[in-house]
């Protein structure tokens, strides 16, 4: 049985970026392993949750439920503190923010897990860290470093195509779409977010697994609630089913390293066929 290891920064990142792929792989007989770097304690949520409960424990329970619905075979928690959006989240005494952790230390931890789980394929994050969260960028750095120490497994990086995301941001900023929670989006940031379509290597059709993806998103209820307006996760769950299918029906990956040539066929079976992007007028930025 082949094993695919996904490395994520915070509970709910797996739901947003790779849950459909994880459910698909599990259904096809792969062992799906999840490594979570942080406790997610700096996540935004409502005061009803943050005042009365330990958010790290809440998010751990939510992640357990997400793993269950996705068919995750094994889960590893690295135990680092959530760095927060600005990389300066307060942490308990003795804890260390993930973004502040030496790359080599995390890479060694990851390689130990890769070896223990006999990883055949590894999945991390793109160079932009998606939208630039410090912990996401740290995932990119540390998984890339670990892949150099564990070169037999191909490395894929979960991402989204930059061009349609940038188009959405421009529409919101122009006022043509009224999305108050996203009104302050910084255009410069999004011009460099995620991955250009031309550099994407795999587009996984997860439409048959959208029930599992929705259930994974629903598991992270604390991240659908906030005092300062709608959250991304909440907005996605409110989409009508046809729109949900269109928006979340595919998941995207950039191949960062080839791995052992013997695993090429396995990679195609698990994530293929390879994506061949067509030149689109909307992609000109």
| Domains, the chain | 3-160+195-277 (3.40.50.10320), 162-194 (no CATH)
Looking at residue 178, its pLDDT comes to: 47
In 3D, which of 144, 135, 132, 130 has the Cα closest to residue 98? 135
> C-alpha distances in angstroms, 65 versus 77, 160, 220, 221?
15, 25, 9, 11
Express the helix, strand and coil content of the chain in percent, nearest 5 each.
Answer: 50, 15, 35
- Which residues in the chain land under pLDDT 50? 51-52, 177-183, 285
- What does the buried/exposed string (b/e) look like for 43-63 if buried means 16 or more CB atoms within 10 Å of the residue's CB? bebeeebbeeeebbebbbebb
Looking at residue 229, its pLDDT comes to: 55
Q: Sign (positive/negative) of CA torsion 75, 263, 146, 140?
A: negative
Looking at residue 241, its pLDDT comes to: 94
> C-alpha distances in angstroms, 261 versus 30, 186, 266?
19, 41, 10
H helices present in the chain, as ranges: 13-17, 19-27, 47-52, 55-70, 103-117, 134-149, 162-174, 187-191, 210-219, 232-237, 241-248, 264-271
Looking at residue 236, its pLDDT comes to: 87
Q: Do the Cβ atoms of 107 and 147 come closer than 8 Å?
A: no
pTM of the model: 0.91
Q: Sign (positive/negative) of CA torsion 9, 140, 197, 70?
A: negative
What is the bridge-based pairing of β-strands 121-125 and 155-159? parallel
- Return d(Cα 128, Cα 111) in angstroms, integer: 22
- Return d(Cα 130, Cα 175) in angstroms, integer: 24
Respond yes or no on whether the N-terminal peptide bond of residue 239 is cis (omega within 30° of 0): no
Q: Do the Cβ atoms of 165 and 190 come closer than 8 Å?
A: yes
Q: Which residues contact residue 220 at a Cβ distance below 8 angstroms, ignoring those fewer than 6 apart?
A: 11, 12, 15, 59, 62, 63, 66, 233
Looking at residue 281, its pLDDT comes to: 56
Looking at residue 189, its pLDDT comes to: 77
């Amino acid at each position: 049985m082949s094993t695919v290891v996904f490395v994520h920064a915070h509970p709910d990142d797996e739901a947003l970026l790779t849950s459909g792929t994880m459910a698909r792989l599990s259904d096809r007989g792969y062992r799906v392993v999840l490594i979570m770097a942080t406790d997610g304690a700096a996540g935004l949520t409502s005061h009803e949750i943050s005042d009365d409960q330990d958010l790290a424990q809440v998010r751990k329970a939510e992640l357990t439920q997400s793993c269950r619905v996705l068919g995750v075979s094994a889960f590893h928690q690295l135990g680092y503190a959530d760095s927060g959006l600005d990389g300066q989240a307060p942490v308990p005494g003795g804890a260390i923010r993930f973004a502040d952790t030496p790359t080599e230390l995390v890479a060694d931890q990851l390689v130990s897990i890769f070896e223990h789980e006999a990883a055949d394929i590894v999945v991390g994050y793109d160079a932009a860290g998606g939208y630039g969260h410090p912990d996401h960028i740290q995932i990119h750095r540390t998984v890339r470093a670990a892949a150099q120490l564990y070169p037999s497994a191909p490395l894929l990086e979960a991402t989204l195509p930059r061009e349609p995301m940038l188009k959405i941001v421009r529409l919101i900023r122009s006022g043509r779409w009224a999305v108050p929670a996203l009104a302050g989006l910084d255009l410069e940031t999004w011009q460099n977010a995620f991955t250009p379509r031309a550099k994407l290597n795999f587009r996984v059709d997860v439409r048959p697994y959208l029930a599992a993806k929705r259930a994974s998103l629903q598991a992270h209820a604390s991240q659908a609630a906030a005092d300062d307006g709608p959250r991304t996760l909440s907005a996605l769950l409110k989409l009508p089913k046809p729109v949900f299918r269109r928006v979340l029906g595919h998941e995207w990956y950039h191949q960062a390293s080839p791995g052992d040539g013997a695993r090429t066929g396995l990679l195609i079976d698990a994530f293929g066929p390879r994506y061949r992007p067509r030149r689109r007028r909307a992609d000109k930025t």
